[in-house]
Amino acid sequence: MAYLSKHRSWKRFMAIFFLPTVLSGFAPHSEEVFKSPARFSWSNLTPSELKNRFVGLSTKTNALGKAYFTLEGHKFMIVGGSIHYFRVPREYWKDRLLKLQACGFNTVTTYIPWNLHEQERGKFDFSEILDLEAYVLLAKTIGLWVILRPGPYICAEIDLGGLPSWLLRNPVADLRTTNKGFIEAVDKYFDHLIPKILPLQYRHGGPVIAVQVENEYGSFQKDKNYMSYLKKALLKRGIVELLLTSDDKDGIQIGSVNGALTTINMNSFTKDSFIKLHKMQNDKPIMIMEYWTGWYDSWGSKHIEKSAEEIRHTVYKFISYGLSFNMYMFHGGTNFGFINGGRYENHHISVVTSYDYDAVLSEAGDYTEKYFKLRKLFASGSARPLPPLPPLIPKAIYPSVNLSFYLPLFDILPYLNQPVMLHTPVTMENLPINNGSGQPFGLVLYETSICSGGSLFASVHDSAQVFLNDQSIGILDENHEVLQIPKIQGCQLLRILVENQGRINYSWRIQSEQKGLKEVVSIDGLLLTNFTIYSLDMKMSFFKRLRSASWRLAPKTYNGPAFYWGILNAGSSPTDTFLHLPNWHYGFVFINGRNLGRYWDIGPQRTLYLPGPWLHPEDNEVIVFEKIEKGFDIQTRKKPQLQECYETGSGLPDAAGDVDPC
């Protein structure tokens, strides 16, 4: 939205504008001022209307020393919202972007996840939900500007912060440094990615007005040359739009780089942060790259919320002071599949499947109280009426799904890809599969023969179920590496099923986020060897093969990992719904081979979002991989369901048999 000086309300705000007050503290506002925000214009600063492209997004300072953004020479305020294309079904991109525009925003921002675009080294995927170019061009068609955040590291609460897992293969490169191995990988990625971005830039007729250099490096900062290298890597490949960096108040100085605008991330309107940023670059306008509209949830923790009135009040302050901003998230979407990240607080903690984030739009794209408060605020300052509200996508309740057939885990081994035979176990990243790229996501099953019991030692990441033949004998995790194996008669098969629950996405710990079993596995100090290793990456090709399996009638109860099969009848016109698994414990749901993500009865998430476009008319195949104990049926809901804490006796226990409360 361009802001125009001809309006009286604008002049009133300019009188208390940011720059004169930043050194002496922010002046308080009266209630009367809050009732009359600055006016904006939609008329001439949209991708379709702004035909002449010479200057792009720039910064200027007027005669009074007040800095501001310009676009093609016109004063311009960035009113942005984050929507990640890879967390939203492609069929709903347009719906979410139209709702962003109808709320009063003029810019969409998105990260670009390297780990999804290059799961195998040298093999790139920009198709379907990963079609970055189509997403950006759609934003242009709708009338939105775009800010891209290509990383290579993005955080985003995604596995390994968006870095591909094959970077963790031996020998390990020092991630996010100018280490030769890491930089060579980044260069090859940029060689493929940046040519896709070039024609999307503003000065080439596209909607991309700015590109971010890496992400929050000030909180990492292990290499003083790293940010300069990445900035040059973008420039020499043809990026010509405004470059910027993004950090919180403690990292803006360290994470900045000459030649890029420093922007700030924050939870609330904090004048001290702005003063610090102003001292760094007093001839540049303030840009809040991330104003957090909520926060992400983690398994076993309480659902996090942020009040709508707090959001409205803070955004009004941004507008009052002429500050450009981006709301993270406007619409969070979903961590479909295995893409969720994690964090470490004495033990590994996984991000939940939903990335609702308590954002302005809900996980399913529904309007929230935050949305209506912001729309009202923006409408009161818009020189023209805002676009009409797009209709809501209907939700449906379908008949319960009876999972009548099952296959125990060890019965599906013939339908997996050929196992790997190794003298000693390796982590999933170091498996000699996928053209030397290892396994990025999912689970790994390790098997070897043992002829005596004793004290089993195994270094596990993140969680493992241990079996003698088909019988469960215990749990291992990163804090419990020893398990007593009972005396056995003759030789038996030791099986260790290890799950990657989401690589840590933040901090220096990303360097050692290999998943699976490390090399040393022993009983009473004697090294175990000769392992057969199965990759359970749960790709769609696996489920196609599984259709030819001889499924058995499921018993009323069954303990241990197994696959369960049923049919969801969605009628003639399928639409969105939420799957509710009230009697299931821990696992994943696959609809027509698509991985909806993890469910876990420790909460807070209790339902899984199922997008309507992923359903076929009438019958849809439902496969549940449950790790603990069989439930009953699957129900559907029109709204998501949360719980604040775990239910007694539920959840995946740790090695001591306990489930921690919230």
Yes or no: say if 410 and 70 are a contact pair by the CB < 8 Å rule: no
Residue 380 CA from chain centroid, whole number: 33
Beta bridge partners of 621: 567
- Per-residue HEC secondary structure of 99-119 comes to HHHHHCCCEEEEECCHHHHCC
For tokens 């996090």, the residue is 304
Three-state secondary-structure class, residue 250 = coil
Residue 577 neighbours by CB under 8 Å, 6+ apart: 395, 396, 397, 398, 610, 612, 636, 637, 638
CB 115 within 8 A of CB 159: yes
Residue 207 DSSP SS3: coil
How far apart are alpha carbons 172 and 511 in whole angstroms? 8
Say if CB 634 and CB 581 are below 8 A apart.
Answer: yes
Catalytic-role residue among 214, 216, 363, 429: 216
290 is catalytic: yes
Catalytic: which of 214, 290, 363, 429?
A: 290
Task: Quote the CA–CA distance of 1 and 44 in Å, as a whole number.
Answer: 9
What's the rounded Cα separation, in Å, for the pair 151 and 145? 19
Q: Which helix (H) or strand (E) holds 327?
A: strand 324-331
Give the integer Cα–Cα distance in Å for 476 and 499: 11
Which residue, among 232, 198, 304, 217, has the nearest Cα to 263 in the 3D structure? Answer: 217
500 Cβ neighbours under 8 A, 6+ residues apart: 338, 428, 441, 442, 443, 461, 462, 515, 516
Question: Do residues 590 and 543 touch, judged by C-beta distance below 8 A?
Answer: yes
Identify which of 330, 356, 328 has the alpha carbon closest to the alpha carbon of residue 104. 330
Three-state secondary structure call for residue 219: helix
Active-site residue, 216 included: yes
Question: Cα 239 vs. chain centroid, distance in angstroms?
Answer: 25
The strand pair at 287-292 and 324-331 is best described as parallel
**Sequence-ordered alpha helix ranges (H) in 8-73:** 8-15, 18-22, 31-34
| Catalytic residue set | 216, 290
